[in-house]
Chain A
């Protein structure tokens, strides 16, 4: 992966994330049934990411309380997400399982949907190493 490009704003991050996911060879090769919506909660910023058949169709930045439905949530402090945005993340900032077991990340909501899409979600989260931190 190339060095992380820091997104200048939340909207620019959402665009960069969408582009990275929608052109990622792995997600595009294996995401035929990758359809779900989830909340990426970075405390200072939130995003609802909607995916259909392997393509990110919409990212809602800082949605209001009842604006957008989502199936599960990945929540962590801004500091934790910033760790995910490093090109080579430090230990325990290197994945949602690691950060849930050893840091402040919380996986909430319908976790079955997360498990059904685990491979592609794992890859999407790793794309933060290229796209940069969402916060």
Chain B
């Protein structure tokens, strides 16, 4: 008899029209309940959420959807433009509009948005721009501003870009995280070098919410931030400072983990994620009681 097992995770494509661009977007999903829309980190793809997608406890109560941002994984660049004639530089505007268009295309009701790193930063952008569209956002490894990573090294023609991107992000993970999971994350990073730098245009250049955090309607769209001890790019101090400046914002410190928590160590990350989901639920109940 075979020991093979078919995972309950399924994959689909959905077309998304946004800002005059048409995308064919790939997503993985599993579970039933309130949707959690999950964004991977820059230059990566949705396999970073592999642990969460098969987490039986969480998928019993939530519909986990992890998509590949266009130009990543199985989501191609735009179908209707000659994208190869332009430099890819992701903007806060287009990135936010895309996620909202995806939530609309999938007809998601009251979704929670969760993203890590450049996904954590866009979580803040979504809370600022469309607090009405999301039940709350989980900003993982995010901050109001994260300069310093928009580097030419990611695409230098004299160096092996796959290796530079993968080994250049290696130190973002904690030494305590399982070696096999850190190497999987490294492996994903060898696959995304062409998009990585353009993603970081958003992460380190266009995303700048300094002085704007007070404009986030955290009562309507509660924000929970979570950052790992070993993250040298957006440190726990950066995230805590950001959360403190947001009305109804919360911060969860995650010891002994790094910048790719869901991918480098899901068993540890999930304990903080459950706390974060409970916090969102409390904020939601408080909001309902006050309404």
**Interface contact tally, CB-CB below 8 A:** 54
Of chain B, the residue at the smallest CB distance from A125 is B171
Q: Which of B153, B159, B163, B232 has the most chain A CB within a 10 Å cutoff?
A: B232
Query: Given A101-B232, A115-B156, A116-B160, does the pair A94, B174 have CB atoms closer than 8 Å?
Result: yes
Contact of B171 with A91 in the complex, beta carbons under 8 Å? no
Please, how many angstroms separate the alpha-carbon atoms of A115 and B168 in the complex? Answer: 8
Q: Which residues from chain A contact B232 at a C-beta distance below 8 Å? A: 91-92, 97-98, 101-102
A4 within 8 A of B: no
Q: Taking the complex as formed, is A45 at the interface, i.e. its CB lies under 8 A from any CB of chain B?
A: no
Q: Determine whether A112 belongs to the interface, using a CB cutoff of 8 Å to chain B.
A: yes
In the complex, which of the residues A98, A101, A112, A119 contacts B156, with contact meaning CB atoms closer than 8 Å?
A112
A96 within 8 A of B: yes
CA distance A88 to B229 in the complex (A): 13
**For the complex, is B233 an interface residue (Cβ under 8 Å from A)?**
yes
Q: Does B230 contact A (CB under 8 A)?
A: yes
CB distance from B160 to the nearest CB of A (A): 7
Interface residue A118 (Cβ < 8 Å from any Cβ of B): yes
Chain B minimum-CB-distance residue to A89 = B175
Point out the residues of chain A lying under 8 angstroms from B229, CB to CB: 91
Chain B positions 225 through 246: 1 when the CB is less than 8 Å from some CB of chain A, otherwise 0 = 0000110110100000000000
Kindly state the separation between the CA atoms of A111 and B158 in the bound complex, as whole angstroms: 11
Q: Mark contacts of B167-190 with chain A using CB atoms, 8 A cut-off: 1 yes-contact digit, 0 otherwise.
A: 110111011100000000000000
Give bound CA distance, A119 to B166, whole Å: 8
Contact of A118 with B168 in the complex, beta carbons under 8 Å: yes
Q: Is the CB of A96 within 8 A of B171?
A: yes
CB distance from B162 to the nearest CB of A (A): 10
Across-interface contacts of B230 in A (CB, < 8 A): 91-92, 94, 98
Q: Are B171 and A97 in contact (CB under 8 A)?
A: yes
Question: Are B164 and A118 in contact, CB atoms less than 8 angstroms apart?
Answer: yes
A118 touches B233 (CB 8 A): no
Per-position contact with B for A81-92: 1 when CB-CB < 8 Å, else 0? 000000011011
C-alpha spacing A96/B171, complex, angstroms: 8
The B-contacting residues of A in range 19-66, CB under 8 angstroms, are none
Please give, as numbers and ranges, the residues of chain B lying within 8 Å of A91 by CB-CB distance: 174, 229-230, 232
Residues of A within 8 A of B156 (CB): 112, 115
> Within residues 102 to 135 of chain A, which ones have a CB less than 8 A from any CB in chain B?
102, 111-112, 115-116, 118-119, 122, 129
Q: How far is the CB of B203 from chain A (nearest CB, A)?
A: 14
Which of B156, B160, B166, B167 is packed against the most chain A CB atoms within 10 Å? B167
Give the Cβ gap from A84 to chain B, nearest Cβ, in Å.
Answer: 11
Q: Which of A95, A101, A116, A129 contacts B233 (CB 8 A)?
A: A101
| Residue of B148, B156, B163, B172 with most partner-chain A CB within 10 A | B163
A95 to B158, CA, bound (A): 23
Contact, CB under 8 Å: A118 / B167: yes
Which chain B residues lie closer than 8 Å to A101 at the CB level? Answer: 148, 232-233
Contact between A102 and B175 (Cβ–Cβ < 8 Å)?
Answer: no
Shortest distance between the CB of B196 and any CB in chain A (Å)? 14
- Chain B's closest residue to A87 (CB) is B175
Least Cβ distance of B136 to chain A in Å?
28
Q: Is the CB of B174 within 8 A of A116?
A: no
Q: Find out whether the CB atom of A118 lies under 8 angstroms from the CB atom of B171.
A: no
A-B contact pairs, 13 of them (CB 8 A): A89-B175, A91-B229, A92-B232, A95-B170, A97-B170, A98-B232, A111-B153, A112-B158, A112-B159, A115-B153, A115-B159, A116-B160, A118-B159
Binding site for B on A (CB under 8 A): 88-89, 91-92, 94-98, 101-102, 111-112, 115-116, 118-119, 122, 129
* Closest CB pairs A-B (n = 8): A95-B171, A98-B232, A97-B171, A115-B159, A118-B167, A119-B167, A101-B232, A98-B171
